[in-house]
Amino acid sequence: MTILGIDPGYATVGYGVIREEQRRTEAMEWGCVYTKKDDGDASIRLGMIYKGIIRLIEEFSPSGMSIEKLFFARNTTSALQVSEARGVILLAAVHHTIPIIEYTPNQVKLAITGSGSADKRQVQEMITRLLRLPEIPRPDDAADGLALALCHLNFTRGRR
């Protein structure tokens, strides 16, 4: 089973790809899709995000995708931009008939550390251990993508 975890954003989309075979889980790739104002208008930046996600889907053929649910309190412009980015990410998954599950930050923390109130550092240390990585994945957005993928794996294990 291969899972693509996505930490959505407009300037930075974090991702992590994990694969489980015979109860052994490994990180295949992690990183970020970046866009910046200099890249062009919203349509160009959203296209860059879409193409970045399509590349991951075509390279790794994930059987599932997990994405963080959004919670915004203040900046409506940022919320709209991230929502648009989520839209193209979800479109990429739907276009390739990949099931998508959304998880809240607390669900991810609980699945990874056993505590829904864990801090970012605790989550990063645990994914480093679980995936037997030599160091904490960087940047933080990529580590979040791996955490989302591991969260999805934990939830799907319970359904099998």
Is-catalytic flag, 144? Answer: no
Is-catalytic flag, 141? Answer: yes
Which entry of 7, 84, 102, 144 is annotated as an active-site residue? 7
Is-catalytic flag, 41? Answer: no
Task: Write the CA distances from 100 to 27, 95, 104, 119, 149, integer angstroms.
Answer: 19, 12, 13, 25, 11
- Residue 134 preceded by cis peptide, ω within 30: no
Give the 3-state secondary structure of residue 31.
strand
Task: Write the CA distances from 68 to 21, 125, 133, 149, integer angstroms.
Answer: 24, 19, 23, 10
Which entry of 21, 38, 68, 102 is annotated as an active-site residue? 68
**Active site residues per annotation:** 7, 68, 141
